[in-house]
Each structure stands twice: as C-alpha cells, then as structure tokens.
Amino acid sequence: DVKVTQSSRYLVKRTGEKVFLECVQDMDHENMFWYRQDPGLGLRLIYFSYDVKMKEKGDIPEGYSVSREKKERFSLILESASTNQTSMYLCAATSDFEQYFGPGTRLTVT
C-alpha cells in the first residue's frame, strides 16, 4: 500500500511569509502532484512532476513553485503567502492509473 505523507495537517501563516509544504511517498512512484481543494471548486492542479528535477505547471500555478530534488519528496512553495491561498492542499503520487493521496494540509493565511 502506497503511503503518502504530508508534513503538517494544519498550518497558520501570515501574509507575506514564505511557506513550505512537504510531501513524501514511500514507494517508487515517478509522478507526483499538488492540488488545492476548495468547497465548490473541487480539486485544482497546481503543479506536477514526472521525475526528479522535472516539473510542469498545472491549471493554477500562479503564486506557487515546486521542488523535487529526490524521487520520494515533492515540495510546494508559496513564495509570499496571501489570504487567497488559504485552502486545503493535497499531494498525490502515482505510477499507474490510481493516484494515491496524502491526508492534506489545511493552510490558513492571516
């Protein structure tokens, strides 16, 4: 069973702070994803990575960047957090048809 873990379940940050969200998977999956989940908007893809040091923009990359230095770890970075980035952030990993999700990080930016 693939395990996807995220560094924090809840996070509170101030406007303008740099925020790091970490995701780690314990299997050898090449593909990793970052989504944000908002009521009424569903899941929207921020960035994804199909290999170490490789990344592609998703549907809503503005205000975010990512880093993948090791296969098992995919980090989402908010360079300067803003209140409209308050959301639930989900990480996922896959090597086949099924995406395995982490428990999510609920980020509040005040």
Query: Given the rule CB under 8 A, which residues bind other proteins?
Result: 31, 33, 35, 40-45, 48, 50, 58, 90, 92, 94, 97-99, 101-104
What span, in angstroms and rounded, lies between the C-alpha atoms of 15 and 99? 32
What span, in angstroms and rounded, lies between the C-alpha atoms of 70 and 88? 24
- Name which of 59 and 79 has its Cβ closer to other proteins: 59
Please, what is the minimum distance in Å from the beta carbon of residue 18 to other proteins? Answer: 27
For 14, which DSSP code?
A: -
Please, what is the minimum distance in Å from the beta carbon of residue 94 to other proteins? Answer: 5
- Name which of 64 and 81 has its Cβ closer to other proteins: 64
Please, what is the minimum distance in Å from the beta carbon of residue 61 to other proteins? Answer: 13
Residues 6 or more apart whose Cβ sits within 8 Å of residue 81: 13, 14, 15, 16, 17, 18, 19, 107, 109
- Name which of 58 and 61 has its Cβ closer to other proteins: 58
What span, in angstroms and rounded, lies between the C-alpha atoms of 15 and 68? 25
